[in-house]
Amino acid sequence: MQTRTEKRVVIAIFETNSTTDELAFLDGMIAVGQADIDEAGNTNVTLWEFETGIYHMKRTRWNC
C-alpha span between 9 and 36 (Å, rounded): 9
pTM over 0.85: no
For the stretch 1-49, pLDDT in tens is 567 789 999 999 988 888 778 888 888 888 999 999 998 989 999 999 9
SS3 track for 12-47: EECCCCCCCCCCHHHCCCEEEEEEEEECCCCEEEEE
Q: Given pLDDT bands bounded at 50, 70 and 90, which one contains residue 56?
A: low
Which pLDDT does position 62 carry in this prediction? Answer: 54
| CA dihedral sign of residues 15, 19, 25, 28 | positive
Whether residue 11 contacts residue 35, with contact meaning beta carbons closer than 8 Å, is answered with: no
Which pLDDT does position 54 carry in this prediction? Answer: 65
SS3 state at 63: coil
Which pLDDT does position 10 carry in this prediction? Answer: 93
